[in-house]
Structure 1
Amino acid sequence: MIRNINIRKSKILSWILISLLLWVLVGFILYPALKTFLISLMDESGLTLSNYSELISTESNLMALKNTIVLGFLTVIICGFIGTVLAFFINFFDFPFRTLIDKLLLLPVVLPGLIIVFAFVQLYGESGLVTKTLEAIFQLKESPYNFGGLKGILFVHGYTQYVYFYMNVSVAIKHIDQSTIEAGRNLGASKLKIFTSVIIPFIMPALIASSIITFMTGIGSFSAPSIIGGSYKVMTTQILLSKANNFMSIAASQVVLLTIVSIAYLVVFRFYEQKKQFTASVKSVSIKRIKLRSKLTKIIVMTLCLVLVTFIILPIITIIVLSFVKPGTWMIDIYPREFSFDNYIKIFSRSRFLAPFANSMLMAGITCLFCIVVAIPSSYIIIKKKSKIKVLIEFLVMLPWAMPSSVIAINIINAFNKPTVFSFNKVLVGSYILLPIAYFVSLLPLMVRSTNISLQNLNNTYLDASKSLGANWIQTFSRVVIPIIAPGIVAGLLLIFIRSVGEYTISVFLYTVSNKPISIAMVNGIFEYEIGLAMSYGAMIIMLVFIGSFTIGNQS
């Protein structure tokens, strides 16, 4: 009798927790998206398609849509080539410092895009260090290239987004079956035939998955198009322009179109991915790396590696060095000559300059807290429970993955510019908490995927043992599951924290005077010609990135 009562109480509590979870997911993910869609169909007269008619008939909006799609596809092509070539180079050959280079190649994925854009501007812009150096060496009267427009955006994307292909293809290469390759050789197949018939099918799912992530990241890019895009307008910059002019119905329509493009690409390539699954029919034997024996080959490879490493770390070094430039001293010379700690002293001695850093740290902490509360139970239901509601929860937590950051920002604005039941009858637009909520929505899929991996590796024997000892699922979850998957949770939270601290796209849509983050302070510093101050903010973020990356490495 007592056992039945406990079971009933456990079920009631379970449904209460699931209901609260659904309330959060619906209220902050699904409802804002539906509200934006509804607003896109409204004008003064009521329901209408006039907003979409205006978008289709306006040349600037059509051009922005076309540019966005072109940018997405070109980003996939360029990053796919760079990332795949590097993955084969690192994983097929054995050479000195290979492991170190492998770690360095992953560095851009944890660096905020805004910092990379500013570093590249300082290096390759019209007055950049590399640009002016080339002009001085070759005695040129003008810059040898134009770092702006589509080319500049793609240059930044190539640096920041090749990592998706590199990571996924590297994992796929490590699972290529050496015995299959040997069997092909024994049957007389040429190297080209083995590459096209064995290796390509093995890595195809990784290529498709990487292209999906890269395309959605590319069309949702805001930092590079807004800072160096110039006349090359894309949907994200047009959305901000509409929002700034208070044309929220037009902004909503642009958001819907951008979301449709993103989801269409996702659906098509996910369908294609399902048809291209490839599984080895024999026990997998890892491929053997080819050792470089020729001295000349080693010299060439090491030279290429040195150039590659220099290119990767040069933007980081540039940010750090320029952060020490003495204010008001670097005006005419190509290279800065006077250095000091004045920028850092200015930040830590004046509350006005310290506030953005403190805001970013606090909001990142709040974001992590939200992610813990929502992602962990969501993952547990998705991976370990047989509840019928798991499909809905999985759909809701992964929905933001298909939404660019600017889309999420507009959805949040549309949803909470009036009192709602989800905001406890309060207007959240203009409040401090809205920015961490938006960060949480955009980063939730990342946290859920990280937690899913930890739970997938959790042996069900522990869960069965807990149940056999009379523990309900809540006790099992808190006393068994959480302690075992804690390292994976910590690693996911550190990544969420790093991403939140340097986030720019959502911030530019939602920040207020009270919660101005460090990314906005960086942009203000650049436009106010306080380059050293802006770079100091960037260097502080880089420091956090390195600390977080080191900690994540130790966790794994």
Structure 2
Amino acid sequence: MYAQTWKDRFRTVHPAVLVLYGLIAWFIVAFLIYPNLNIYYRIFFKDGVFSLEAVEKLLSSGRAMKSLYNSFLLAVSLVVTVNAVGITLVLFTEYFAIKGAKLLRLGYYTTLIYSGVVLVSGYKFVYGENGFITRLLAGWFPQMDTSWFHGYGAVLFVMTFACTSNHVLFLGNAMRKIDYQTIEAARNMGASTFYIFRRVVLPVLKPTLFALTILIFLTGLAATSAPLILGGVEFQTITPMILTFSKSMTSRDLAALLALILGLATLILLTVMIRLERGGNFMSVSKVKSELVKQRIASRLGNAVAHTLAYGLFLIYMIPVALIVVFSFTDAHSIATATLRPGSFTLDNYALVFSSMAAFKPYLVSIAYAVAASIAVVALALAASRILHKYKNKWATALEYALLIPWMLPATLIAIGLIVTFNEPRAILGNLVLTGTVWMLLIGYVIVHIPFTLRMVKASFFSLDPNLEDAARSLGARAFYTFRKVLLPIILPSTMAVLALNFNNTLADYDLTVFLYHPLYQPLGIVIKNSTDAQALADTRALTLVYSVILMVMSAITLYFVYGKSRRG
């Protein structure tokens, strides 16, 4: 009976739908499962025989072991510094009554519109050997070492202020949901401001802080841009070392093993995070919550210190952004010497970007990749979410878990898996070689954005009223017509928001791009990173500043339409 029912269902499925399901299954096997299994085989099996040669090479490599130590050192350090700064930012904008909080929020939110290689290059432009602040300080202190901004300290400083985006978004949101009645009750019982924060406010924020701590650790462990640009010879981490090893056929097994270590660390930490979330009990006991009222700092000295620290942090966040924008309107000489003169301002840099194909090409390449990848991953997520919404069986569950595989893997491991697997003909791709083609990077972009896109699109599907589809079916509408005319228009706004965020995140990506890009088609992330090299021409740096400004403007517009309008509505 079961077999007959299954056959009947199979016959009712439209052939086009079967083809679609087959393509999804092929994509999962070809790009999510096979490359990752192939890494294990390439590392531990030489000519079909089990071998620990790669492990022995790793243990005997001083550079590789030092990079592992540096990565874990950076990850642990960032957990302390990012949490300290992130919690402070949220307190200044959401909890304490600080004058000018709206202005401060604008400065603290700048990391939402520029990040990654753009942010790191901006900090190097300000604090590097030829940076504006460094030149300014050198004028006051002639004996100063102008090459001071590099190594562990520089990487930690930049990443500390670069990684607070999640705090201002998610921890700030959690802070606004705190029941003010509990704070007022504690104050009426004589509790001090610090005691209330420590014993009343902080416990409610624990779930968010646990999640953010895990994410910070993973970010530090897999850091690419900051160690590569600012780390120097003395502070090399895992990902830059993987990049170095992956360029040689003889050391690719080391690159794969280091990437595997990153993947195992990611899996372990995500498991810990899930366990902590399940085991914790941090729910508020109040049934009727009152809106949080900002707390005044009673101590004059404490109030002065808080305001000084708040605006000091504001300057740290705003100086790189302001200088990038200002210097993008200056000539190459001013940019090279980090000096501002009345006659140095010009619009030539912007004119060149939009009038010269050679200058506009990196931007065009990034836009093409971002558009193609965003549309492809949204289409895949829509098809998969439709299956998950319509069918509640073990195959649908397996499909969901398979599509979440990239969530458990660092971008480095995904890139190495693609390189190692598809640098030779493979039957699953019709004996095509992908390594060295423009398709490799596109596939990589699609893979890394699948988990986030699937979760958002799936949530939209499951929020639909099931009676809508039943009504359409009773009127004789076919499944595809119902999806196209009834369901899709409802979920389209949230789907477009996800597409916009994916487009935004892909434009200036560097961490994945550096492994998979085609040399003749360099995206913005690669061009911006190359402009930070000492031998880069002043004209190249000028164009990079323009690229950075345009990216920040596009990011700000995207965030406004995705978050700002919905928040105001």
When normalised by structure 1's length, the TM-score is 0.89
SS in 2 for 1:513: coil
Rate the CA distance shift 1:462–1:84 in 2: closer, same or farther, 3 A: farther
1:34 is matched with 37
Give aligned-pair identity as a percent: 27
SS in 2 for 1:515: coil
Once the 2 structures are TM-superposed, how far is the Cα of residue 534 of structure 1 from its aligned partner?
Answer: 2.3
Give yes or no for the alignment of 1:318 onto 2:328: no
1:529 is matched with 537
- Contact kept in structure 2, 1:164 and 1:213, CA below 8 Å: no
SS in 2 for 1:503: coil
Once the 2 structures are TM-superposed, how far is the Cα of residue 44 of structure 1 from its aligned partner?
Answer: 5.4
- Runs of 5+ consecutive residues of structure 1 not aligned to the other structure: none
Instruction: State the distance in 1 between where 2:485 and 2:321 align.
Output: 42
Rate the CA distance shift 1:421–1:180 in 2: closer, same or farther, 3 A: farther
Once the 2 structures are TM-superposed, how far is the Cα of residue 325 of structure 1 from its aligned partner?
Answer: 2.8
Instruction: State the distance in 2 between where 1:363 and 1:31 align.
Output: 24
Give yes or no for the alignment of 1:22 onto 2:28: no
Matches within 5 A, 1:33-432: 33-43=36-46, 46-94=49-97, 97-99=100-102, 101-102=104-105, 104-137=107-140, 139-143=141-145, 146-182=148-184, 194-230=196-232, 231-246=234-249, 247-290=251-294, 292=296, 304-328=309-333, 330-332=335-337, 334-335=339-340, 338-382=344-388, 385-432=391-438
Instruction: State the distance in 2 between where 1:273 and 1:7 align.
Output: 40
Instruction: State the distance in 1 between where 2:305 and 2:545 align.
Output: 35
2:497 is matched with 491
Instruction: State the distance in 2 between where 1:484 and 1:100 align.
Output: 36
Once the 2 structures are TM-superposed, how far is the Cα of residue 359 of structure 1 from its aligned partner?
Answer: 0.6
Rate the CA distance shift 1:71–1:452 in 2: closer, same or farther, 3 A: farther
- More deviation, 332-341/19-28: 332-341
Match of 2:445 among 439, 442, 451: 439
Once the 2 structures are TM-superposed, how far is the Cα of residue 332 of structure 1 from its aligned partner?
Answer: 4.7
Once the 2 structures are TM-superposed, how far is the Cα of residue 198 of structure 1 from its aligned partner?
Answer: 4.0
Once the 2 structures are TM-superposed, how far is the Cα of residue 117 of structure 1 from its aligned partner?
Answer: 0.9
1:479 is matched with 485
Deviations 1:271-310 (A, max 9, x none): 1221113223441404421265989788876665544433
Instruction: State the distance in 1 between where 2:360 and 2:199 align.
Output: 58
- More deviation, 404-413/189-198: 189-198
| RMSD between aligned residues | 3.1
Once the 2 structures are TM-superposed, how far is the Cα of residue 219 of structure 1 from its aligned partner?
Answer: 1.3
Give yes or no for the alignment of 1:544 onto 2:566: no
- More deviation, 106-115/383-392: 383-392
Rate the CA distance shift 1:463–1:551 in 2: closer, same or farther, 3 A: same
Once the 2 structures are TM-superposed, how far is the Cα of residue 60 of structure 1 from its aligned partner?
Answer: 1.9
SS in 2 for 1:362: helix
SS in 2 for 1:504: coil
Rate the CA distance shift 1:140–1:461 in 2: closer, same or farther, 3 A: farther
- Contact kept in structure 2, 1:526 and 1:534, CA below 8 Å: no
Instruction: State the distance in 1 between where 2:43 and 2:263 align.
Output: 13
Once the 2 structures are TM-superposed, how far is the Cα of residue 112 of structure 1 from its aligned partner?
Answer: 3.3
- Contact kept in structure 1, 2:180 and 2:293, CA below 8 Å: no
- Runs of 5+ consecutive residues of structure 2 not aligned to the other structure: 1-6
Deviations 1:420-478 (A, max 9, x none): 34434311111112112111111222222332443454444444544555556544433
Rate the CA distance shift 1:306–1:19 in 2: closer, same or farther, 3 A: same
Instruction: State the distance in 1 between where 2:508 and 2:457 align.
Output: 22
When normalised by structure 2's length, the TM-score is 0.87
Once the 2 structures are TM-superposed, how far is the Cα of residue 180 of structure 1 from its aligned partner?
Answer: 4.1
Deviations 1:145-183 (A, max 9, x none): 832111111111112111223322222222323344455
Deviations 1:57-114 (A, max 9, x none): 3222112112111211211221111112222332223555544544543331342311
Deviations 1:232-278 (A, max 9, x none): 11110110111122222221111111111221222123212211132
- Contact kept in structure 2, 1:432 and 1:514, CA below 8 Å: no
SS in 2 for 1:315: helix
Instruction: State the distance in 1 between where 2:337 and 2:193 align.
Output: 56
Amino acid in the other structure paired with 1:535: L
Rate the CA distance shift 1:333–1:68 in 2: closer, same or farther, 3 A: closer
* Count of matched residue positions in the alignment of Structure 1 and Structure 2: 552
Instruction: State the distance in 2 between where 1:229 and 1:370 align.
Output: 36
- More deviation, 188-197/225-234: 188-197
Instruction: State the distance in 2 between where 1:22 and 1:252 align.
Output: 26
- More deviation, 230-239/245-254: 245-254
Amino acid in the other structure paired with 2:62: E
Instruction: State the distance in 2 between where 1:281 and 1:45 align.
Output: 60
Once the 2 structures are TM-superposed, how far is the Cα of residue 335 of structure 1 from its aligned partner?
Answer: 4.1
- More deviation, 357-366/45-54: 45-54
